[in-house]
Amino acid sequence: MALDQSFVGRTYPPTPPYEVGREKIREFAEAIGDANAAYTDTEAAKALGHPDVIAPPTFVFAITFKAAGAVIEDPQLGLDYSRVVHGDQKFAYTRPVRAGDRLSVTSTIEAIKSLAGNDILDIRGEVHDASGEHVVTAWTKLVSRAPEGA
Amino acid sequence: MTAKIAYDEVEVGTELPAQSFPVTRATLVRYAGASGDFNPIHWNEKFAVEVGLPDVIAHGMFTMAEAIRVVTDWAGDPAAVVEYGVRFTKPVVVPNDDTGALIEVSAKVAAKLDDQQVRVDLTAMSAGQKVLGMSRAVVRLA
C-alpha cells in the first residue's frame, strides 16, 4: 500500500547528542582499512588545520541512520522495513565530524513516491554540534520493494 | 583545510590514481561492529538467500566508504570533500572464502567549479558490474 503523502515535510524532534569518540573514529577507520593519519593522529590532524582527529566522510551515517529510525519505525507511517533497501546516499559537509563533537540530528521526510508498487522515501538528516552549528546534511533514499505478486 | 592538490594543477579529465579494495567476510563483520549495522544480509548466508540475494553482500555504506578513499588519498585532507553522493546500483557479493570480493574504484575530474572546487566522478566495479551509480564528490582543492 502506498505510503501516506501527508507525511511529506514532517520533521521529527532532534535526537539526544551523540558524542563522537576518538577510539570510535579509529575503529571505523580500521574497519574500512583507511590509514589516513588525520583519523588517528591528533598532530597529523592539527597539521591539516583541524582542532582534533576527524572522522572519515561516511562515518556520520551511523548517527544519521539511527536518527532516521524515528521515521522508519513510525507506526503511523507504516513502512515495511523488512522489504527496505538503501537506494541513494548523499552528504554535504560544512565541516568534518571530529572527536569530541556532540552531534544532534533532525530528520525530515523530504519526499514520498510510489513507483511500480515500490515505496520510495527520502529522509534528510540535519546534523548540528552542541553550539548549534551545522556540520553535515545527510540525504538517505530508502526503497521499500513491492511484495511479489502485488 | 589543506588539500595537497592545487586547483590550477587539474583539468577536466584528470584521472585520480585508481585503487582496488578487497573485502572478505571478516571485513564485513568488522565493519558491522564499527558502523553498528548488524543487518544479517551482511553476515548470514542463510538469511541472505532467504530474502532473495545470491549470497552475503557488503554493506552499501562500506562500498561508499571505500570508494571515497580514492579521493581522500588524492586530496590528502579528507575534509577537502565537501559533498559526496552515490546510488547503490548492484550489491557487492562476498563469497565465504579467503579471497572474498574486490571493489575496483577509478575517478576523474568531471568539472571545475567556482571557489577552488572540482567535481570528481567515481566508478566502482565488482565482479565486472558497476556497484555504484551517480557517484560524485565535490572537492575543495588548494
Residue B29 above 80 pLDDT? yes
Cα dihedral A27/A28/A34/A35 (nearest 10): -30
Asked if residue B42 belongs to a domain, the reply is no
Q: What is the CATH number of the domain that holds B87?
A: 3.10.129.10
β-strand partners of B112: B118
Q: Is A130 on the interface with B (CB under 8 A)?
A: no
The Cα A147–Cα A32 span in angstroms is: 34
Q: Is residue B79 part of a domain?
A: yes
Average pLDDT (B10-25) is 98
- Determine what percent of chain B is predicted with pLDDT higher than 90: 96
Whole-number pLDDT of residue B65 = 98
pLDDT tens, B57-79? 999 999 999 999 999 999 999 99
pLDDT digits (tens, 9 = 90+) for A54-75: 999 999 999 999 999 999 999 9
Q: Cα separation of A65 and B35, whole Å?
A: 10
Q: How far is CA B36 from the centre of its chain?
A: 19
Domain edges within chain A: 5-21+55-144
B37 within some domain? no
Cell of B130: 558497476
- pLDDT for A1 equals 60
Instruction: Determine contact: A18 vs chain B, CB below 8 A.
Output: no
Q: Which residues contact A41 (CB under 8 A, 6 or more apart)?
A: A53
Does the pLDDT at position A148 exceed 70?
no
Structural domain for B65, as ranges: 7-23+57-140
- Answer with the residue of higher pLDDT: B49 or A4: B49
Average pLDDT over residues A45-58: 97
If one counts every other C-beta atom within 10 angstroms of the C-beta of residue A101, the result is 23
Query: Which residues in chain A have their CB less than 8 angstroms from residue B84's CB?
Result: 57-58, 90-91
**Arithmetic mean of pLDDT over chain B:** 96
Write the burial class of residue B66 (CB in 10 Å: 0-12 exposed, 13-18 middle, 19+ buried). buried
For B84, list phi and psi in degrees, rounded to 5: -155, 125
- Chain B hits for A72, CB-CB cut-off 8 Å, are none
How confident is the model at residue A82, as a pLDDT? 79
Residue B16 maps to a domain = yes
- What's the whole-number mean pLDDT along residues B91-116? 97
In CATH, what class is A5-21+55-144? alpha beta
3-state secondary structure at position A144: strand
Of A76, A88, A75, A80, which is closest to residue A123 (Cα–Cα)?
A88
**pLDDT of res. A2:** 77
- Residue B32 located in a structural domain: no
pLDDT tops 70 at residue A150: no
Closest to A110 (Cα-Cα) out of A34, A12, A1 = A12
Spell out which residues of chain B touch residue A33, defining contact as CB-CB under 8 Å: 21, 27, 66
Residues of B within 8 A of A92 (CB-CB) are 82-83
Q: Do A48 and B2 touch (CB under 8 A)?
A: yes
Minimal C-alpha gap between B4 and chain A (Å): 10
Residues of chain A in contact with residue B81, where contact means CB-CB under 8 angstroms, are 57, 93
> How many structural domains does chain B have?
1
A48 touches chain B (CB under 8 A): yes
**Per-residue model confidence (pLDDT) at position B37:** 94
Give the whole-angstrom CA distance, residue A63 versus residue A61. 5
Distance from the A88 Cα atom to the nearest Cα atom in chain B, whole angstroms: 4
Q: Identify the burial level of A23 via C-beta atoms within 10 angstroms of its C-beta, where 0-12 means exposed, 13-18 middle and 19 or more buried.
A: exposed
Phi-psi region of A132 (alpha: psi -120 to 50; beta: other; left: phi over 0): left
Q: What is the mean pLDDT of residues A73-96?
A: 92
The distance of Cα A43 from the centroid of its chain, to the nearest Å, equals 28
Q: Touching check for A120 and chain B: CB below 8 Å? A: no
Percent of chain A with pLDDT over 70: 97
Does the beta-carbon distance from B86 to A89 stay under 8 Å?
Answer: yes
Q: How many residues comprise chain A?
A: 150
Count of other CB atoms within 10 angstroms of residue A35:
10
- With cell 572540482, the residue in question is B118
Residues A91-138 have pLDDT tens digits of 999 999 999 999 999 999 999 999 888 999 999 999 999 999 999 999
| CB nearest to B30's CB, from A31, A87, A92 | A31
The Cα of A25 is separated from the nearest Cα of chain B by a number of Å equal to 9
Question: Across the interface, which of A31, A36, A85 has its CB nearest the CB of B78?
Answer: A36
| Kind of pairing between the strands at A134-144 and A118-128 | antiparallel
**B33 lies in some domain:** no
Q: Among partner residues B62, B77, B84, which is closest to A90 by beta-carbon distance?
A: B84
